[in-house]
Amino acid sequence: MINPNEALNLIQGLIVPKSVQKIAIQDALGLILAEDLRADRDFPPYNRAMMDGIAIKNTALKKWPIEDIAFAGEPQKQLGHSNAAIEIMTGAPVPIDCSSIIKIEDIEFFELAGEKWAEYVGKDLLNPGQFVHAQASDCKQNDLILSSGTKIGPVEIAIAATIGKTQLSVFKKPGIAIFSTGDEIVAIHEKPAAHQIRSSNSAMLEAVLKSHGFSPTVAHIKDEKSVVEQSLESALEKHDILLLSGGVSAGKKDFIPEVLEELGFKALFHKIAQKPGKPLYVGNRADGKLVFAFPGNPISTLTCFWIYFLPWVMGSHLILSKISVANLPSSNPNLDQWLPVKIKGVQAETLKNNGSGDLIHWKFADGLVWQKAGSTEQLLPFFPLRP
Ligand code: AMP
Ligand code: MG
């Protein structure tokens, strides 16, 4: 039996199955880019005025006659006389032969002999090139601007748009099949007999995965070896990862580990020295398919899914901050414990509960703290449960 640290390290070594798909850029936020993006033109594509004001060539003068006016959206203009100016608006191409922009706040306009003139009234010396966002100063045409593997955030969406990409190649989320197992389990809409329980695990797993951009399928498997075999085999044809709840412990009808072995899976580990979730099984196959089989008790499934599966499949790491924990029970000498806590101010308080089958008391939990086997620490790693 391995400990949670070893299990987390082994899982981090697994490769999340990936394939590539093309999607509209508006749907790409948060996904991973699967192509290199190059500039389709210089950026900026022309010398762009950064201020409203006047465009000039001769920065040694203080007064310039106005020849013309250049608006954004108009083709580039040309200065007629080298001592003259052209009025200009932000975003307009700087006219041919103009080197600098003077902003409107530093100018006073006046009339002289029926002509419009601008006079410089600013305090600073004029800098040749000022307020001109020079062509190709951000990047040149064909420069590599985003590499495959980049996580797509708002800036990346805007960059893709500015180079004319309506669609992006991104790594597709792995296909996940969720299975609940157990003869005692019925669907949510069914009325359970006295000896039956509704499947809460399936809905929980599906909801969390959907909120993270996955499109899992959900089905149930009876505790019958041939049915387990058939169901898993056909799911593996269409999916990259199987998430199973139940059937992975030492019960007489817990067929999952042996069926997985028959289907060619190797256990990365089966059983972790932890509570809840000791029987957790994680396995992989030569073709890259993966199985995470969670013990069926709702809190075991939730804890194992939240700690071991979700950070890994999202390509991140388990990030834990430390928190001081009040009324901490003494640690278990052999098993690490994931304890439900409520946050009160800057402290966490452990919650009373009736073990891993007790969903109801977990409604108060803000997260889990990780108490290592034999530890006397009060300051424990905290992992939030609320999204
Ligand atoms: P197992 O891991 O198959 O031995 O299941 C342990 C216990 O978890 C069962 O006795 C059920 O009470 C509970 N359980 C199993 N599957 C589910 C499920 N899908 N939803 C809620 N509870 C479950
Ligand atoms: Mg079972």
The rounded mean pLDDT for the chain is 96
pLDDT computed for residue 194 by the predictor = 97
225-275 residue pLDDT tens:
999 999 999 999 999 999 999 999 999 999 999 999 999 999 999 999 999
Q: Is 28 in the pocket of ligand 1 (CB under 6 A)?
A: no
Q: How far is CA 132 from CA 135, 136, 138, 220, in A?
A: 9, 12, 12, 65
The alpha-carbon radius of gyration of the chain (Å, integer) is 32
pLDDT computed for residue 378 by the predictor = 96
Going along the chain from its start, the domains and CATH numbers come out as 4-17+174-313 (3.40.980.10), 22-41+140-172 (3.90.105.10), 48-133 (2.170.190.11), 321-384 (2.40.340)
The DSSP code for 196 is -
Alpha helices in the chain (DSSP H): 4-12, 154-162, 201-211, 225-238, 256-262, 298-304, 310-313
Taking a 5 Å cut-off on Cβ, the residues next to ion ligand 2 are 182, 246-247
Strand partners, 326: 349
Backbone angles phi, psi at 324, to 5 degrees: -80, 130
| Ligand 1 atom with minimal separation from the 247 CA | 3
Residue spans of the chain under pLDDT 70:
387
DSSP per position, 298-341 = HHHHHHHIIIIIHHHHTT-----EEEEEESPPPPPSS-EEEEEE
CA–centroid distance, 221 to ligand 2, in Å, is 10
pLDDT computed for residue 386 by the predictor = 81
pLDDT computed for residue 350 by the predictor = 96
Judge contact between 189 and 46, C-beta under 8 A: no
CA–centroid distance, 334 to ligand 1, in Å, is 24
Its pTM stands at: 0.77
| Ligand 1 atom with minimal separation from the 279 CA | 2
96-116 residue pLDDT tens:
999 999 999 999 999 999 999
Mutate to test the pocket of ligand 1, among 222, 224, 244, 245 (most ligand atoms within 8 A of CB): 245
pLDDT computed for residue 301 by the predictor = 97
Strand, helix or coil for residue 4: helix
pLDDT computed for residue 32 by the predictor = 92
